[in-house]
Amino acid sequence: MKFPFQNVALIGKYKAPEIAEPLLLLAGFLASRGMSVVVDSLTAEHLKSSPYPAMSLDEIGRVVDLAIVLGGDGTMLNIARTLSPCHVPLVGVNQGRLGFLTDLTLDNMQDSIAAMLDGKFVTEQRLLLSARVLRDNVEVFSGLAFNEVVVHRDHISSMIEFEVRIDGEYLYNQRADGLIVSTPTGSTAYAMSAGGPILHPSLDVIELVPVCPHTLSNRPIVVKGSSVLEILTHRTGDLRVRFDSHTSYNMQLHDKIIVARCPETACLLHPVGHSYYHTLREKLLWNQTL
């Protein structure tokens, strides 16, 4: 990470014209601080008469020191997968519903970002997953996930059957609607809805959570972050693998999925005093009196 920040990218929620006003206000503030500001090209489509140059995400990854994302967690997931391999730190301003990853608000964003530009921030490195689909031992698809890699049935109502191995050792055969392989970040997303435990994002672990398994003995399992997972599909059709609900690939019978920790991490910046437990209390309504 390069500090002090000089070149800053602003990225808004996809197809959200309402993001224009707060984004331009933030851009003007950053420019007044002497920052060089660029805007994501898709976001720029919603800006009228913007004086700031527009760039693709690939171009942004090569030239900026910091990216500020205005949107929800879904927006941050997509941006993190793209920019993390470029080692660009990310700041999130929440324009969505939950805001586990985008912890600033429109009301406090200017003051919070001003403090961050002065070096008052907390740095957090979060694990990413890398997954490859093999067909007859030939790679046919690959992708990154910030939350989870999910193997699931697509349109048919029958269960899928799959085998799981960890570091080459057989773990189990499973009949279920699907399997979630989650990072600690994703433990508060689909994995939590499927009955998995909440994991602190600093943990170096990977979580496996079957979706609606056809067995009473099923339990989610958490393995070390350096583990290599193999998922081999059996006796099923109409199968798909998804990466953070943003990218998907239609699989065939006997395809194998290899999931492992990505060498790069996602770097998130938070205001001083940021607390993950405070976020849980707020977002999961744990602070309400019964």
| Digit-coded pLDDT (tens) for 57-75 | 999 999 999 999 999 898 9
pLDDT class of 96 with cuts at 50, 70, 90: low
> Do 128-264 and 7-119 have the same topology in CATH?
no
73 flagged as catalytic: yes
CATH superfamily membership of 7-119:
Probable inorganic polyphosphate/atp-NAD kinase; domain 1 (3.40.50.10330)
* Per-residue model confidence (pLDDT) at position 98: 67
C-alpha 171, offset from chain centre: 27
Worst-scoring range by mean pLDDT, 32-36, 85-89, 263-267, 280-284? 280-284
Measured CA to CA, the distance from residue 270 to residue 91 in angstroms comes to: 7
* Per-residue model confidence (pLDDT) at position 267: 97
| Digit-coded pLDDT (tens) for 209-268 | 999 998 888 899 999 999 999 999 987 768 899 999 889 999 988 999 999 999 999 999
Domain residue ranges in the chain:
7-119, 128-264
Angle between helices 109-117 and 20-32 (to 10 degrees): 30
pLDDT at 156 over 80: no
275 and 269 Cβ atoms separated by less than 8 Å: no
Residue reference for tokens 């019964």: 290
Does the domain at residues 128-264 carry the CATH identifier 2.60.200.30?
Answer: yes
43-49-55-56 Cα dihedral, nearest 10 degrees: 30
Measured CA to CA, the distance from residue 129 to residue 131 in angstroms comes to: 7
Of 40, 58, 73, 136, which one is the catalytic site residue? Answer: 73
204 and 221 Cβ atoms separated by less than 8 Å: no
* Per-residue model confidence (pLDDT) at position 234: 87
